[in-house]
Amino acid sequence: MNDATRAIGEVAEQLGLSADALRFYEREGLLIGPVVRDAAGRRRYAERDVSWLGVCTRLRDTGMPIEKIRRYAALVRDGGDNHAERLALLREHEAAVSHDIDELIAARAVIRSKIDSYAEQLAHGAADRLWDNPR
C-alpha cells in the first residue's frame, strides 16, 4: 500500500520550509528513499518522508552541514549494522550544538547585564552618564 498522499505545499507548510527547500533536500540526497510522484509528475510524500524531513530540518536548524546530513541519510538508507557510525555522527553534532548553546548563554548574559545597567541608570536619571554613551 502506498501512503504517499501529501503534496509538496502541504509538507512545506507543516515543516516551515519552502517547496524549493524540499526540492533542494531531494537534489542533495538527504531523503531516505525516492520521492513518489503521481500520474501528473507531482511529488507526493508519505508520513515517513515527512517525519524524516523533520529530522533533517532540525539537524540543519542546529547547524549540521549538508554534507553531514547527507552522510547520515546514507547511513540510514544503507540500514545494516552501521548504528555505531550513526551514533558517533549524532554525538559529535550534539557536542557542537551544546557548545553553541553555551556560547549563546554567555552572550545572553552580557546582553542582560547591559539591559540591567541601562534600566537601573535610567531609573535613577543617570542616562547621560552611561559609559558607552556616544556623546
Classify the phi-psi angles of 83: left when phi > 0, otherwise alpha if psi is within -120 to 50, otherwise beta.
alpha
Predicted confidence at residue 135, as pLDDT, reads: 44
Q: How many residues does the chain have?
A: 135
Q: What is the pLDDT of residue 129?
A: 60
Say if residue 15 is exposed, middle or buried (CB neighbours under 10 Å; 0-12, 13-18, 19+).
middle
Segment 57-63 shows an average pLDDT of 96
Helix (H) or strand (E) holding 84, with range, is helix 83-123
The answer to whether residue 1 scores a pLDDT higher than 90 is no
List, for residues 82-114, the tens digit of each pLDDT value: 999 999 999 999 999 999 999 999 999 999 999
The residue that leads in pLDDT, 2 or 112, is: 112
Listed in sequence order, the residues at least 6 apart from 19 whose beta carbon sits closer than 8 Å to its beta carbon are 8, 9, 12
Residue 127 confidence class, pLDDT cut points 50, 70, 90? low
With a cut of 90, say whether residue 124 has pLDDT above it: no
Handedness of CA 77, 81, 83, 85 (dihedral sign): negative
The pTM of this model reads 0.80
Q: Mean pLDDT in the chain?
A: 91
Element at 94 (helix H, strand E): helix 83-123
Task: Tell the residue number behind the cell numbers 529530522, with chain if given.
Answer: 55
